[in-house]
Homo-oligomer: A and B are copies of this chain.
Amino acid sequence: MSGDGEQENSRFEVGGSLSHRVPDLGALELLLAVARLGSLGGAARELGITQPAASSRVRSMERQLGVALVDRSPRGSRLTDAGALVTDWARRIVEAAAAFDAGAQALRDRRDSRLRVAASMTIAEYLLPGWLLALRAGRPDTAVSLLAGNSAAVAERLLADEADLGFVEGLNVPTGLDSVVIAHDHLIVVTAPGHPWARRRRALEASELATTPLILREEGSGTRQVLDAALGGLARPLIELSSTTAVKAAAVSGAGPAVLSELAVGEELAMRRLVSVPVEGISLARDLRAVWPTGHRPVGPARDLLSLTRG
Protein backbone atom coordinates (compact mmCIF):
# COMPACT_ATOMS: atom_id res chain seq x y z
CA MET A 1 0.00 0.00 0.00
CA SER A 2 2.79 2.37 0.95
CA GLY A 3 3.81 2.71 -2.65
CA ASP A 4 7.11 0.98 -3.05
CA GLY A 5 6.27 -2.53 -2.05
CA GLU A 6 3.22 -2.72 -4.29
CA GLN A 7 4.98 -1.29 -7.30
CA GLU A 8 7.86 -3.69 -7.01
CA ASN A 9 5.44 -6.50 -6.73
CA SER A 10 3.66 -5.74 -9.94
CA ARG A 11 6.73 -4.79 -11.88
CA PHE A 12 8.66 -7.89 -11.00
CA GLU A 13 5.72 -10.25 -10.97
CA VAL A 14 6.78 -11.42 -14.44
CA GLY A 15 8.50 -14.41 -12.94
CA GLY A 16 5.92 -14.97 -10.22
CA SER A 17 4.38 -18.40 -10.33
CA LEU A 18 2.11 -19.33 -13.18
CA SER A 19 -0.80 -20.22 -10.96
CA HIS A 20 -1.43 -16.54 -10.35
CA ARG A 21 -1.60 -15.67 -14.02
CA VAL A 22 -3.23 -18.75 -15.47
CA PRO A 23 -6.86 -19.52 -14.62
CA ASP A 24 -7.40 -22.72 -12.68
CA LEU A 25 -8.49 -25.91 -14.36
CA GLY A 26 -12.11 -25.44 -13.39
CA ALA A 27 -12.23 -22.09 -15.13
CA LEU A 28 -10.56 -23.50 -18.23
CA GLU A 29 -13.02 -26.37 -18.37
CA LEU A 30 -15.80 -23.87 -18.03
CA LEU A 31 -14.41 -21.88 -20.93
CA LEU A 32 -14.29 -24.99 -23.10
CA ALA A 33 -17.87 -25.78 -22.19
CA VAL A 34 -18.97 -22.25 -23.06
CA ALA A 35 -17.19 -22.54 -26.39
CA ARG A 36 -18.89 -25.83 -27.13
CA LEU A 37 -22.37 -24.99 -25.91
CA GLY A 38 -22.57 -21.32 -26.80
CA SER A 39 -24.09 -20.35 -23.50
CA LEU A 40 -22.85 -19.53 -20.01
CA GLY A 41 -25.90 -21.03 -18.37
CA GLY A 42 -25.64 -24.18 -20.45
CA ALA A 43 -22.01 -24.59 -19.52
CA ALA A 44 -22.91 -24.04 -15.88
CA ARG A 45 -25.53 -26.78 -16.01
CA GLU A 46 -23.08 -29.17 -17.60
CA LEU A 47 -20.53 -28.58 -14.88
CA GLY A 48 -23.09 -28.77 -12.12
CA ILE A 49 -22.78 -25.19 -10.94
CA THR A 50 -25.23 -22.31 -11.12
CA GLN A 51 -25.39 -19.72 -13.85
CA PRO A 52 -24.20 -16.81 -11.69
CA ALA A 53 -21.19 -18.84 -10.63
CA ALA A 54 -20.27 -19.43 -14.26
CA SER A 55 -20.86 -15.82 -15.14
CA SER A 56 -18.68 -14.60 -12.33
CA ARG A 57 -15.98 -17.10 -13.05
CA VAL A 58 -15.70 -16.18 -16.71
CA ARG A 59 -15.68 -12.54 -15.80
CA SER A 60 -12.87 -12.95 -13.32
CA MET A 61 -10.97 -14.93 -15.92
CA GLU A 62 -11.33 -12.03 -18.32
CA ARG A 63 -10.13 -9.66 -15.63
CA GLN A 64 -7.16 -11.87 -14.91
CA LEU A 65 -6.12 -12.14 -18.55
CA GLY A 66 -7.00 -8.57 -19.46
CA VAL A 67 -8.85 -9.73 -22.56
CA ALA A 68 -12.55 -10.09 -23.38
CA LEU A 69 -13.20 -13.75 -24.05
CA VAL A 70 -16.91 -14.02 -24.78
CA ASP A 71 -19.48 -11.82 -26.43
CA ARG A 72 -22.56 -11.95 -24.24
CA SER A 73 -25.90 -11.41 -25.83
CA PRO A 74 -29.44 -12.00 -24.68
CA ARG A 75 -29.55 -15.08 -26.85
CA GLY A 76 -26.28 -16.73 -25.87
CA SER A 77 -22.57 -16.20 -25.70
CA ARG A 78 -19.99 -16.63 -28.42
CA LEU A 79 -16.24 -16.50 -28.14
CA THR A 80 -14.43 -13.39 -29.29
CA ASP A 81 -11.45 -13.84 -31.63
CA ALA A 82 -9.09 -13.62 -28.70
CA GLY A 83 -11.38 -15.95 -26.80
CA ALA A 84 -11.14 -18.57 -29.52
CA LEU A 85 -7.37 -18.42 -29.36
CA VAL A 86 -7.31 -18.58 -25.59
CA THR A 87 -9.71 -21.49 -25.67
CA ASP A 88 -7.44 -23.42 -27.98
CA TRP A 89 -4.50 -22.85 -25.69
CA ALA A 90 -6.66 -23.80 -22.72
CA ARG A 91 -7.57 -27.03 -24.43
CA ARG A 92 -3.93 -28.07 -24.35
CA ILE A 93 -3.81 -27.61 -20.61
CA VAL A 94 -7.02 -29.52 -20.08
CA GLU A 95 -5.83 -32.36 -22.28
CA ALA A 96 -2.60 -32.59 -20.32
CA ALA A 97 -4.68 -32.64 -17.16
CA ALA A 98 -6.83 -35.45 -18.56
CA ALA A 99 -3.70 -37.47 -19.28
CA PHE A 100 -2.46 -36.76 -15.77
CA ASP A 101 -5.75 -37.92 -14.36
CA ALA A 102 -5.77 -41.11 -16.39
CA GLY A 103 -2.28 -41.91 -15.22
CA ALA A 104 -2.90 -41.00 -11.61
CA GLN A 105 -6.01 -43.13 -11.48
CA ALA A 106 -4.09 -46.11 -12.81
CA LEU A 107 -1.37 -45.50 -10.27
CA ARG A 108 -3.83 -45.42 -7.41
CA ASP A 109 -5.73 -48.64 -8.01
CA ARG A 110 -2.77 -50.81 -7.30
CA ARG A 111 -4.59 -54.14 -6.96
CA ASP A 112 -7.79 -55.82 -8.06
CA SER A 113 -8.16 -53.93 -11.29
CA ARG A 114 -9.46 -55.49 -14.42
CA LEU A 115 -6.31 -54.61 -16.30
CA ARG A 116 -2.91 -54.57 -14.66
CA VAL A 117 -0.19 -52.98 -16.76
CA ALA A 118 3.55 -52.97 -16.12
CA ALA A 119 5.59 -50.56 -18.19
CA SER A 120 9.08 -49.18 -18.49
CA MET A 121 9.60 -45.64 -17.35
CA THR A 122 9.85 -43.99 -20.75
CA ILE A 123 6.67 -45.62 -21.96
CA ALA A 124 4.84 -44.91 -18.72
CA GLU A 125 5.91 -41.29 -18.90
CA TYR A 126 5.24 -40.42 -22.49
CA LEU A 127 2.85 -42.90 -24.05
CA LEU A 128 0.72 -44.64 -21.49
CA PRO A 129 -1.45 -41.72 -20.36
CA GLY A 130 -2.56 -41.21 -23.94
CA TRP A 131 -3.35 -44.87 -24.35
CA LEU A 132 -5.29 -44.91 -21.12
CA LEU A 133 -7.37 -41.99 -22.32
CA ALA A 134 -8.11 -43.76 -25.57
CA LEU A 135 -8.95 -46.94 -23.68
CA ARG A 136 -11.27 -45.05 -21.39
CA ALA A 137 -13.01 -43.57 -24.41
CA GLY A 138 -13.71 -47.03 -25.78
CA ARG A 139 -14.19 -48.96 -22.52
CA PRO A 140 -15.17 -46.43 -19.88
CA ASP A 141 -15.58 -49.03 -17.15
CA THR A 142 -12.17 -50.64 -17.35
CA ALA A 143 -10.19 -50.06 -14.16
CA VAL A 144 -6.49 -49.98 -14.93
CA SER A 145 -3.58 -50.29 -12.58
CA LEU A 146 -0.08 -49.27 -13.55
CA LEU A 147 3.30 -50.30 -12.29
CA ALA A 148 6.41 -48.65 -13.68
CA GLY A 149 9.88 -50.15 -13.56
CA ASN A 150 12.74 -51.43 -15.70
CA SER A 151 12.52 -54.37 -18.09
CA ALA A 152 13.43 -56.91 -15.44
CA ALA A 153 10.74 -55.64 -13.09
CA VAL A 154 8.16 -55.75 -15.87
CA ALA A 155 9.10 -59.36 -16.68
CA GLU A 156 8.96 -60.32 -13.04
CA ARG A 157 5.46 -58.93 -12.61
CA LEU A 158 4.19 -60.66 -15.71
CA LEU A 159 5.67 -64.04 -14.79
CA ALA A 160 4.31 -63.80 -11.25
CA ASP A 161 0.88 -63.11 -12.76
CA GLU A 162 0.79 -59.72 -11.10
CA ALA A 163 0.33 -57.95 -14.41
CA ASP A 164 -1.67 -58.73 -17.53
CA LEU A 165 0.32 -56.80 -20.09
CA GLY A 166 3.76 -55.24 -20.12
CA PHE A 167 5.65 -52.70 -22.19
CA VAL A 168 9.43 -52.67 -22.49
CA GLU A 169 11.95 -50.68 -24.45
CA GLY A 170 15.20 -52.61 -24.09
CA LEU A 171 17.13 -54.27 -26.90
CA ASN A 172 16.15 -57.81 -26.09
CA VAL A 173 12.95 -59.37 -24.86
CA PRO A 174 13.22 -60.90 -21.37
CA THR A 175 13.09 -64.70 -21.48
CA GLY A 176 9.74 -66.29 -20.91
CA LEU A 177 7.85 -63.54 -22.65
CA ASP A 178 6.27 -63.21 -26.07
CA SER A 179 6.25 -59.79 -27.64
CA VAL A 180 5.12 -57.66 -30.50
CA VAL A 181 6.69 -54.42 -31.69
CA ILE A 182 4.27 -51.55 -31.19
CA ALA A 183 6.43 -48.60 -32.14
CA HIS A 184 9.93 -47.53 -33.00
CA ASP A 185 11.96 -45.09 -31.03
CA HIS A 186 15.24 -43.43 -31.88
CA LEU A 187 17.85 -42.16 -29.54
CA ILE A 188 19.13 -38.80 -30.66
CA VAL A 189 22.02 -36.62 -29.70
CA VAL A 190 20.96 -33.23 -28.40
CA THR A 191 22.74 -30.14 -27.19
CA ALA A 192 21.81 -26.70 -26.03
CA PRO A 193 21.53 -24.29 -29.00
CA GLY A 194 24.77 -22.61 -27.96
CA HIS A 195 26.89 -25.74 -28.13
CA PRO A 196 29.39 -26.04 -31.02
CA TRP A 197 27.73 -29.24 -32.21
CA ALA A 198 24.48 -27.36 -32.74
CA ARG A 199 26.12 -25.50 -35.61
CA ARG A 200 27.82 -28.45 -37.25
CA ARG A 201 27.18 -29.05 -40.90
CA ARG A 202 28.36 -32.63 -41.13
CA ALA A 203 26.77 -35.47 -39.23
CA LEU A 204 28.64 -36.81 -36.23
CA GLU A 205 30.55 -40.01 -36.67
CA ALA A 206 30.33 -42.85 -34.22
CA SER A 207 33.95 -42.40 -33.23
CA GLU A 208 33.36 -38.78 -32.25
CA LEU A 209 30.41 -39.81 -30.16
CA ALA A 210 32.43 -42.53 -28.51
CA THR A 211 35.30 -40.22 -27.59
CA THR A 212 33.25 -37.27 -26.34
CA PRO A 213 32.03 -37.24 -22.72
CA LEU A 214 28.25 -37.31 -22.78
CA ILE A 215 25.39 -36.70 -20.40
CA LEU A 216 23.86 -40.13 -20.02
CA ARG A 217 21.36 -42.21 -18.15
CA GLU A 218 22.87 -44.63 -15.65
CA GLU A 219 24.18 -47.98 -16.76
CA GLY A 220 21.43 -50.57 -16.90
CA SER A 221 18.75 -48.24 -18.18
CA GLY A 222 17.17 -49.11 -21.50
CA THR A 223 18.46 -45.94 -23.07
CA ARG A 224 22.02 -46.55 -21.97
CA GLN A 225 21.90 -50.17 -23.13
CA VAL A 226 21.06 -49.15 -26.65
CA LEU A 227 23.80 -46.56 -26.81
CA ASP A 228 26.44 -48.85 -25.36
CA ALA A 229 25.49 -51.56 -27.81
CA ALA A 230 25.66 -49.16 -30.75
CA LEU A 231 29.06 -47.88 -29.72
CA GLY A 232 30.37 -51.25 -28.65
CA GLY A 233 30.28 -50.41 -24.96
CA LEU A 234 32.48 -47.42 -25.37
CA ALA A 235 30.21 -44.54 -24.30
CA ARG A 236 32.10 -42.11 -22.09
CA PRO A 237 29.91 -40.47 -19.47
CA LEU A 238 30.42 -36.85 -18.57
CA ILE A 239 27.72 -37.26 -15.93
CA GLU A 240 25.42 -40.17 -15.24
CA LEU A 241 21.93 -39.25 -14.13
CA SER A 242 19.12 -41.47 -13.01
CA SER A 243 16.19 -39.88 -14.80
CA THR A 244 15.40 -38.69 -18.26
CA THR A 245 14.31 -35.38 -16.83
CA ALA A 246 17.61 -34.78 -15.11
CA VAL A 247 19.47 -35.53 -18.34
CA LYS A 248 17.27 -33.08 -20.23
CA ALA A 249 17.75 -30.39 -17.63
CA ALA A 250 21.52 -30.83 -17.73
CA ALA A 251 21.56 -30.65 -21.54
CA VAL A 252 19.34 -27.57 -21.63
CA SER A 253 21.58 -25.82 -19.15
CA GLY A 254 24.49 -26.37 -21.53
CA ALA A 255 26.42 -28.95 -19.53
CA GLY A 256 27.18 -30.89 -22.70
CA PRO A 257 25.72 -33.18 -25.34
CA ALA A 258 23.17 -35.75 -24.20
CA VAL A 259 21.70 -38.88 -25.71
CA LEU A 260 17.99 -39.32 -25.21
CA SER A 261 14.88 -40.87 -26.66
CA GLU A 262 13.21 -38.68 -29.22
CA LEU A 263 10.01 -39.28 -27.29
CA ALA A 264 11.44 -37.37 -24.38
CA VAL A 265 12.59 -34.27 -26.17
CA GLY A 266 9.83 -33.46 -28.64
CA GLU A 267 8.74 -30.38 -26.75
CA GLU A 268 12.26 -29.13 -26.16
CA LEU A 269 13.16 -29.47 -29.83
CA ALA A 270 10.00 -27.73 -30.91
CA MET A 271 10.77 -24.68 -28.83
CA ARG A 272 14.49 -24.87 -29.53
CA ARG A 273 15.66 -25.30 -26.02
CA LEU A 274 17.54 -28.25 -27.43
CA VAL A 275 18.93 -28.96 -30.88
CA SER A 276 19.23 -32.38 -32.45
CA VAL A 277 22.64 -33.34 -33.86
CA PRO A 278 22.55 -35.87 -36.70
CA VAL A 279 24.72 -38.96 -36.31
CA GLU A 280 25.88 -41.29 -39.04
CA GLY A 281 27.26 -44.77 -39.17
CA ILE A 282 25.43 -46.26 -36.22
CA SER A 283 21.87 -47.18 -35.55
CA LEU A 284 20.34 -45.74 -32.41
CA ALA A 285 16.90 -47.17 -33.14
CA ARG A 286 15.12 -49.37 -30.67
CA ASP A 287 11.80 -51.12 -30.66
CA LEU A 288 9.09 -50.50 -28.14
CA ARG A 289 7.38 -53.78 -27.43
CA ALA A 290 4.31 -55.06 -25.73
CA VAL A 291 5.10 -58.25 -23.81
CA TRP A 292 3.20 -61.04 -22.07
CA PRO A 293 4.01 -64.49 -20.64
CA THR A 294 4.80 -66.97 -23.39
CA GLY A 295 1.65 -68.63 -24.58
CA HIS A 296 -0.78 -66.37 -22.71
CA ARG A 297 -1.94 -64.15 -25.54
CA PRO A 298 -3.63 -61.04 -24.15
CA VAL A 299 -7.40 -61.28 -23.93
CA GLY A 300 -10.14 -58.97 -22.77
CA PRO A 301 -9.05 -55.50 -21.67
CA ALA A 302 -5.38 -56.31 -22.26
CA ARG A 303 -6.21 -57.11 -25.85
CA ASP A 304 -8.13 -53.86 -26.19
CA LEU A 305 -5.19 -51.86 -24.91
CA LEU A 306 -2.78 -53.73 -27.15
CA SER A 307 -4.85 -53.00 -30.22
CA LEU A 308 -4.84 -49.32 -29.32
CA THR A 309 -1.09 -49.15 -29.27
CA ARG A 310 -0.40 -50.68 -32.65
CA GLY A 311 0.11 -48.25 -35.47
Contact = CB atoms under 8 A, between A and B. Distances in A.
A130 interface: yes
A129 B98 CA distance: 21
Given A25-B19, A133-B271, A90 B100 contact: yes
B140 A271 contact: no
A133 B19 CA distance: 16
Interface string A85-101: 11111111111111111
Contacts of A48: 16-17
A272 B308 contact: yes
Nearest to A82: B107
Interface residues of A, number: 62
B22 A17 contact: no
Mostly helix, strand, loop or mixed at chain A's interface? helix
Contact of A108 (B66, B108, B267, B273): B66
Given A18-B29, A82-B107, A107-B65, A125 B89 contact: yes
A88 B81 CA distance: 33
Contacts of A133: 271
Contacts of A21: 101, 104-105
Interface in A19-71: 19, 21-22, 24-26, 29, 35, 47-48, 65-67
A165 to B, nearest CB: 17
Nearest to A121: B85
Which among A91, A124, A272 has the highest number of chain B CB atoms within 10 Å?
Answer: A272
Given A92-B96, A134-B273, A85 B14 contact: no
Nearest to A243: B84
Interface in A254-277: 267, 270-273
A103 interface: yes
A137 B140 CA distance: 41
Interface in A125-168: 125, 129-131, 133-134, 137, 140, 148-149
Contacts of A243: 84
22 contacts: A14-B140, A16-B48, A17-B26, A18-B98, A19-B24, A22-B97, A22-B100, A24-B24, A65-B104, A65-B108, A67-B107, A67-B108, A82-B148, A84-B243, A85-B107, A86-B104, A87-B245, A89-B104, A90-B100, A93-B100, A130-B270, A133-B271
Given A82-B148, A85-B103, A93-B96, 13 more contacts: A17-B26, A19-B26, A65-B107, A81-B149, A85-B121, A85-B125, A89-B96, A89-B100, A92-B99, A95-B267, A96-B96, A131-B271, A134-B273
